[in-house]
Amino acid sequence: MARTHKRMEPRDQVIVVQATRSQRATIDQAGLLVGKRRSDFILGALVRAAKELLPDRVSLHLDPESIDRFVALLDEPPPPTDALRNLLTRSAPWE
Instruction: Tell me which residue range forms the domain holding 80.
Output: 21-89
**Angstrom distance (rounded) from CA 87 to CA 8:** 36
pLDDT in tens, 20-42: 999 999 999 999 999 999 999 99
Contact (Cβ atoms closer than 8 angstroms) between residue 38 and residue 27: yes
Contact (Cβ atoms closer than 8 angstroms) between residue 40 and residue 27: no
Does residue 85 sit within a domain?
yes
Q: What's the chain's average pLDDT?
A: 90
Does residue 13 sit within a domain?
no
Does residue 2 sit within a domain?
no
Does residue 7 sit within a domain?
no
Does residue 32 sit within a domain?
yes
Does residue 15 sit within a domain?
no
Count of CA atoms in the C-beta half-sphere (13 A) of 93: 0
Does residue 76 sit within a domain?
yes
Does residue 14 sit within a domain?
no
**What angle do the packed helices 38-57 and 21-34 form, to 10 degrees?**
90
Whether the full predicted model's pTM is greater than 0.75, yes or no, is no
